[in-house]
A and B are shown apart, each in its own frame.
Chain A
Amino acid sequence: MAVKTLIKTSEYHDSVSLMLVARELSKLPGVSDAAVVMGTEANKSILEQAGMLTDEVKAATPNDLVIAVSAPEDAAANALLEAEKLLQKKAGPAGEAEAFRPKTVRAAVKSSPAANVAIISVAGRYAADEAWEALRRGLHVLLFSDNVSLEDEIALKQYAADHGLLLMGPGAGTAIINGVALAFANVVPAGPVGIVSAAGTGLQEVSTLLGKNGVGITQGIGTGGRDLKESVGGIMMLAGLKALQEDPATQVIVLVGKPPAPSVTQKVLEQVALCPKPTVVCFMGGDMEAVKAVPNAIPARTLEEGGLLAAKVAGAPIGDVKAQIEAETLRLKEQAAGLKKALKPGQRYLRGLFSGGTLCYEAQVIWTDLIPETVLSNAPLDKHKQMADSTRSQGHCTIDLGEEEFTVGRPHPMIDNDLRIRRLLQEAHDPEVAVIIMDVVLGYGAHMDPASELGPAIRQARQIAHDAGRELFIVASVTGTEQDPQGLSRQSAALTEAGAIICGSNAAASRLAGMLVA
């Protein structure tokens, strides 16, 4: 047994805090006695009676802090270290009653040392600075803001990757970290699938499709759409993938995005090959052959296929995915054939009104196989399918209303239905339109009851067509779960009630809509 003491000159603490530290020290293994006191005469005499009055303690002044421990050599040294830690810890943040709202990231981190994730949604020109601030303070970042320069994105992501942090974005609308929905995200169960997505609504669609099949997720990591560009090089997709590969809770991985630059595809697939975990690669409409070359990689052409394949690999009791999609397609074909009879000969065109960019993209991938004519878009698969004026529809066309041209100075269409409703009514007046396809995205961040506004608008749109003596089909899918604040079945029922045809996925809705005009 040894008595070890540590004198901290001129360090003052109130006695209650010191007693609490002493009590913690006494509980340490091997420690038979501990004292943490100011070096007053009274305290020294107490230490003397306890046999802990070393020469060092004798020399201490009332302004010095005395830490004394009676324990075997090793345990005593350890206890002294622990004492220092406890003394620092004591100076923690203030309690919850604090009404004060910090104004800067650094102050927030100082007052809440447990903070580990930042969500940044300030205007683009300020966003990079705030992201730097957050990263430098060790926070993982969901950078929701758009309009961050490519240079800033690359620098931020490189720093994040070097420091073991996530920099999700810019323009990352969705993430689910440890079950917490960040920004636009759904309430999905916990489970064995980890997702890295360069497409926000893609992550929502895949995670809810998994949920609909009873499969949950570990993490849903967003990267922002530009991550897969050549210049960014997939920094975050690679970092997220690696983390999920090393994560023992993740047994199946899903990668989601538009087709990356070839060099990025190669880097991602090389990383996929380094870990035997089954990895569904859903680069919508991308090169399936390259994916097939990696033994543990499973290619998927659409979000629906990606979600179902991952569910199956994760053990969901569903049959062969390809066969299942084929069967569903047959069923949709029959349904379309029946519906088509109600259309007038001039009703030839499809119009898409999307709030989720990835869903708009998935629809176009599906239509390339289905609709022989060109489908134009403000967010096209190929540049030559670009709409000349996205406020004016012509032929087959599909619009991503979440594109920047529509959201500057206006809330996103997932939050505010106004713009989409106006466009819906506009399309309803067009005698050439046969079908309008829409996505309805639920979850945190989204409108609290979209069907309450979209429902009446759908009814009105169809009435406009009926009044003009024609039918108008409105096909929709609802991306969400029963546990979402809006409730999947409640929303679906209200939309069906309003006259919409609700499909089980965006892919199914896209097929049905396509078949109605094909």
Chain B
Amino acid sequence: MEKHKINDLFGKPVTVVNIGLGSMAQSIRDQDVPVVDLDWKPPAEGVKRLMVTKAGIDIDAANDEAVKRIKAGRPVLVGMGVAKDVIPGMHSRMFLHAGPPVTWERMCGPTRGAVMGALIYEGIAKDEAEAEKMAAGGEIEFSPCHHHHAVGPMAGVVSPSMPVFILENKAFGNKAYCTQNEGLGKVLRYGGMGPEVYARLKWMETVLYPVLSRALETLPEGIDIKSLIAQALHMGDECHNRNRAATSLLLRAFGPALARTSQNNEDLARVIEFIDRNDHFFLNLSMPAGKAMLEPAEGIPGCSLVTVMARNGTDIGIRVSAMPERWFTAPAGIVKGLYFPGFGEEDANPDIGDSTITETAGFGGFAMAAAPAITKFVGGTPELAKQTTLEMYEITAGEHDGFTIPVLNFRGTPLGMDIRKVVETGILPQINTGIAHKKPGVGGIGAGILRAPMACFKEAFDAFETL
């Protein structure tokens, strides 16, 4: 460490941080000296300020290492494949779902709908009644996406035949997987069921996937998703609830290769239309990008940063780097938001999906200042978006120098949720998300924002204290 001296302070302009009495800050201000007057509140009662673990590990140093690894990550879209062939541990009778583990009995409506719909799409069940019987009868093994290096938006159901994107973190060599995004409304990931849902999934499997996959094969370097996220953050996206710019950038990146590998121009045109009409197409790349960047930060002894935050519509669960195998759960929250015509809050399922991997990786709701347009979901203002991001710096260990926010003078996004800071400050992580109908089969009905609940962070903190 650099050797400092008290004398280094002498003669330098003074900038004060005031912690406590407002009059102290005012006195400094009266002298025309800059002062940051903290909006200080006592820490939560009984919360110790942990600097080292029980085993003696320097927590800040461990967290710095995690932040370094996440920042160094370089997720690249390297190819595509079919789930059962490429996702580790996947088999023909396994369905993945979003969030922490959940049994059929406790599964929420949209996840049940997605499971049943996927059984029909797979041709395993012939109708909803049979699908429900099979799912309830234990014929399908359910497993969280996160147990398989995968992530799924909303219900997050990945069934064996679904094509998936394969992302590789070029800095560490780990891979992450995610399905192709279906669009909004009545779609499987929101629990939607019906012939149009299955037909779309079939088309995505038989047309969209081969077209994209062929194009990708001609791009030996793949498509650098990290770079697209960085650019989209400068174009009004936060890459969770708003992916409009990123989706456009993705099409540009794909464009020439799509043209060169096209075997049928009508198919190609439909592919481009499909992507163009689905502003969220890129979500299924920003999510695995987040996953790919976060995995190398898992399992660092003494690290108190969250590496997974995910919801299954019943529970929200988090995993902490130092305890990579454990889930800490709490009931999933209620989303405040805007609804499609004909739907309201009474129809909404609690918070659902793995898409909070984006917040965990330092974008999404944490980069809300980059996406003032999405504050309209809660009738907020661009100023609110800015304040939200600024508040997230309070509970994060670092700043992502790869992802910057123009309106904050290109400051890096808040990165690395620290359970210590969440528990101590009471500031809860911002989540931007879509809203699913609580009944199976209906689909997406809106979008909004909420904060993650304290309970899972407190539980994780209590466990962390014993390490």
- Give every chain A residue within 8 A of B15 (Cβ-Cβ): 112, 114-117
Q: Is the CB of A291 closer than 8 A to any CB of chain B? A: no
Q: Is the CB of B466 closer than 8 A to any CB of chain A? A: no
B409 close to A14 (CB less than 8 A):
no
- Give every chain A residue within 8 A of B122 (Cβ-Cβ): none
A218 to chain B, nearest CB (A): 7
B427 close to A114 (CB less than 8 A):
no
Q: Is the CB of B274 closer than 8 A to any CB of chain A? A: no
User: Which listed residue, B9, B21, B38, B393, touches A110 by the CB 8 Å rule?
Assistant: B393
- Give every chain A residue within 8 A of B49 (Cβ-Cβ): 129, 132-133
Tell me the complex Cα distance, A145–B18, Å. 12
Q: Is the CB of A188 closer than 8 A to any CB of chain B? A: no
Binary per-residue interface labels of chain B (17-59) against chain A in the complex, 1 for a CB within 8 Å, 0 otherwise: 1111101110110110110111111110000010100000000
Tell me the complex Cα distance, A100–B393, Å. 12
A107 to chain B, nearest CB (A): 5
A107 close to B394 (CB less than 8 A):
yes
Binary per-residue interface labels of chain A (231-246) against chain B in the complex, 1 for a CB within 8 Å, 0 otherwise: 0000000011011001
Tell me the complex Cα distance, A14–B407, Å. 13
A240 close to B17 (CB less than 8 A):
no
Selected interface stretch from A163-171, A254-262, A505-513:
A163-171
Q: Is the CB of A180 closer than 8 A to any CB of chain B? A: yes
Tell me the complex Cα distance, A88–B399, Å. 12
Q: Is the CB of A94 closer than 8 A to any CB of chain B? A: yes
A137 to chain B, nearest CB (A): 9
B residues 299-336 near A (Cβ < 8 Å) are none
Q: Is the CB of B5 closer than 8 A to any CB of chain A? A: yes
B187 to chain A, nearest CB (A): 31
B444 to chain A, nearest CB (A): 31
A63 close to B394 (CB less than 8 A):
no
A91 close to B6 (CB less than 8 A):
no
Q: Given A88-B401, A112-B17, A218-B10, is A129 in contact with B43 using a C-beta cutoff of 8 Å? A: yes
- Give every chain A residue within 8 A of B16 (Cβ-Cβ): 115, 117-119, 180, 182
Question: Across the two chains, which residue of chain A brings its CB closest to B406?
Answer: A14
Q: Which of A132, A183, A218 counts the most chain B CB atoms within 10 A? A: A183
B224 close to A120 (CB less than 8 A):
no
- Give every chain A residue within 8 A of B31 (Cβ-Cβ): 180-181, 444
Question: Across the two chains, which residue of chain A brings its CB closest to B227?
Answer: A63
Selected interface stretch from A5-13, A298-306, A351-359:
A5-13
A residues 95-123 near B (Cβ < 8 Å) are 95, 98-112, 114-123
Q: Is the CB of A90 closer than 8 A to any CB of chain B? A: yes
Tell me the complex Cα distance, A165–B10, Å. 12
B224 close to A94 (CB less than 8 A):
no
B17 close to A109 (CB less than 8 A):
yes
Q: Is the CB of B438 closer than 8 A to any CB of chain A? A: no
Tell me the complex Cα distance, A90–B406, Å. 11
A173 to chain B, nearest CB (A): 11
Chain B binding surface, main DSSP class:
mixed
Q: Is the CB of B7 closer than 8 A to any CB of chain A? A: yes
Binary per-residue interface labels of chain A (243-276) against chain B in the complex, 1 for a CB within 8 Å, 0 otherwise: 1001101000000000000000000000000000
B71 to chain A, nearest CB (A): 11
Binary per-residue interface labels of chain B (364-394) against chain A in the complex, 1 for a CB within 8 Å, 0 otherwise: 0000000000000000000100110011011
Binary per-residue interface labels of chain A (314-351) against chain B in the complex, 1 for a CB within 8 Å, 0 otherwise: 00000000000000000000000000000000000000
A247 close to B14 (CB less than 8 A):
no
B104 to chain A, nearest CB (A): 42
Q: Is the CB of B273 closer than 8 A to any CB of chain A? A: no
B410 close to A119 (CB less than 8 A):
no
Tell me the complex Cα distance, A119–B23, Å. 11
- Give every chain A residue within 8 A of B28 (Cβ-Cβ): 119, 180, 182
Tell me the complex Cα distance, A108–B51, Å. 19
B7 close to A114 (CB less than 8 A):
no
Tell me the complex Cα distance, A165–B5, Å. 7
Q: A144-B24, A177-B14, A444-B31 are in contact. List 16 more A-B contacts (CB 8 A).
A: A13-B404, A100-B390, A100-B391, A103-B38, A103-B40, A103-B394, A104-B38, A104-B425, A112-B17, A117-B15, A120-B20, A129-B43, A240-B6, A243-B7, A246-B7, A247-B10
Residue positions of B touching A, CB distance < 8 A: 1, 3-21, 23-25, 27-28, 30-31, 33-34, 36-43, 49, 51, 60, 74, 170, 221, 224, 226-227, 230-231, 234, 383, 386-387, 390-391, 393-394, 399, 401-402, 404, 406-412, 421, 425, 427
User: What are the 6 A-B residue pairs with the smallest beta carbon separation, nearest first?
Assistant: A121-B20, A164-B4, A101-B39, A12-B230, A63-B227, A243-B6
